[in-house]
Chains A and B, each alone.
Chain A
Amino acid sequence: MFKTVKKYLQKDFSWIPSENPTHSYPSLTGKLLLRHEIPLEDEIVDHLIAQTILTKVTSIESYPWAYRCRRCGNTKSYMFAKMPHATCGQTCVYCRFCIQMGRVVACEPLYYGSSGFEWPLHEHPCQWKGELTVHQQKAADELVALVRTGKGEKLVWAVCGAGKTEILFRSITEALKNGKRICLATPRTDVVRELLPRLQKSFPKVNIQALYGDSPDKAGDAPFIIATTHQLLRFAHAFDVMVIDEVDAFPFHNDASLHYASERAAKPQASMIYLTATPRKKQKRRIRSKDLPVVFIPQRFHGHPLPVPQLKLTPALHRYLQKAELHPKILQQIAHQQQTPRQLLLFLPSVKMAEQIAEYLKERNYEVRSVHAEDRGRAGKIQAFRKKEYRVLVTTTILERGVTFPSVDVYVIDAGHVVFDEAALVQIAGRAGRSPDDPKGDVIFYHVGKTDEMLDAVDSIHYMNRLGRKL
């Protein structure tokens, strides 16, 4: 009884077979799949099971008081349901949480593919010729050491625009030289799309695959995988090096299933690297209690300090927003800003408001476009903004991170709204001054009263700037 309770409360991966025989099926290695996701004939599958290259595992753990889906780790009772299952003739439990990726039914097993595939060794995989700053160098050294030793964790706390990706190059090189498998996971599809060409350019001879919801590649049979965290639901004990970018970002930070999947996707002896500019409270607590080793990069790669947000009180803000208009003071500021060569990023708390304000500015003859999460043409609009085809981009928090525009000013309208938490505000402020040619940028938070989140964000930026000066 005590054992069952313990097993339920802890994340227990002892059901994954520890013996991993070598084989020649890269698309099965380190995978946790449903039968219809394995594109092989029944006979071949039976043959692979006999050789323990594939292992059938129970898909849903059953406890007297609850269930747990082994693919997504879901234990919420309202996310399980029963149905009369025509295939087996009985009433079966299925998981509703990860049903988007194909239904997991209790009577059908999951197939674990042995992670024994041997990946090619690369002699000199990295073609990147850039220089690292002192801070970057120090972080890169520590990460290489971690990859060499294997098991361990490390958080890289780097300001926005520190050049996080470049820090990874040496540890990636180290892993590829030893035939280790790497996964770079991030919560956001946009980031995966942006990273793939950059990494392919730096590692031209390595087979790099990008996996996301509607990616052209679906096989997941490469030694180096860039994926959204959702894709990790199909992996188990697959990676020797696991990098999670933007650990604090939505939806990763508040979705237990993604934590479950990313822990399972790493091998028991894997090196875990977390990257973030704005750690959440939970991570900060672990850092303070010395439970999570951390390395700081408090300065941007161009060496200039982060722009500090100005807080501007505009008491009538909400009254104007309700009429789908902007406060005359803000309008004046925008008119003034538009005289300068910099573009303008305008953040609003909701999709509806973003669209209304874009419309409002359009009437005033500004070159404006708006983007939000459900926007089909998002990628195109962002690309056009980067190419300076128009002047003002009105957006929701969707663009708070992962996108880089060389020279912009950033205004947040109604910064006291609940969607703008500390992490979001720090990230938004981090959009300004990204390029060495224009390392400054105005960041203005318009509000109707300072919130703790705003003050914390400003404090955190000051703190990093101070650290950067000291070193």
Chain B
Amino acid sequence: MLRNVCIQLKNGLPKSYSTSTSSPASSELAALEPRKLLFPSNYKKPRQVWLESLDTIDERKLTILELHPEIFAANPRIDLIHQNIKWQQNYRYVSYAHTKSRFEVRGGGRKPWPQKGLGKARHGSIRSPLFRGGGVVHGPKSPTPHFYMLPFYIRIHGLTSALSIKLAQDDLHIVDSLEIPSEDTSYIDELIKSRLWGPSVLLVDSVDIMPRNITAATDTIKHVNLMPAYGLNVYSMLKHDTLVLTRGAVDLIEEKLLGHLHKNDSRAVEAKYKLNQV
């Protein structure tokens, strides 16, 4: 969903998010630097969170990070989250339920019995909806697509609401990277248990090529999933109990969402998708 949301920004960005090139030593140092917030707010204080590391089973705190209040302390609009989730469930759903009307059901062209003289009710067809085996009135027809687009800023505010709720309910954790020392499944199991995460955990990185160990360790655990930041969406955030973002992912998510919340050409960009244009 974030990918849909960020299509305009994508072309303008010089860096590529699909490969990890930096060496672990330099990235660890970079992760410890204090964050510089884009579009700092005059009225709201930044939220502070611990930067953790996945390299030990027990929680190891590295430093404190500041998160942008417009993204991580936004108004938790449950209704917008609901709308986002309904949209995500519906836009790709095509109903294949199908029924036949009285004219599509085989037979029934002949008047079953004379109009008068039998003392029976008058009927013109044995496939009338009154008959057993007759057609269905106003029944479902296949295929029925349920596609629609949610307005752009409802999608944006759905994301900020979901992130804010996750942080407020202590279900959001920031880690320096997704590097873990072993590719053993039990390592990640124990880590989640010892840190009181989950049970279901969504791990989000800024790039879509994840470190080998985490990929191997989470491969067989169905409720621990990996996701690149461009795939982050409201449904997955609520589907999983705990959301784990890498610092790179936090930077990327903030940059994209703040970019959309603060751009001044949104009217022109949205205009062409507007219905009922004069």
Chain B associates with chain A: no
Chain B residues packing against A (C-beta within 8 Å): none
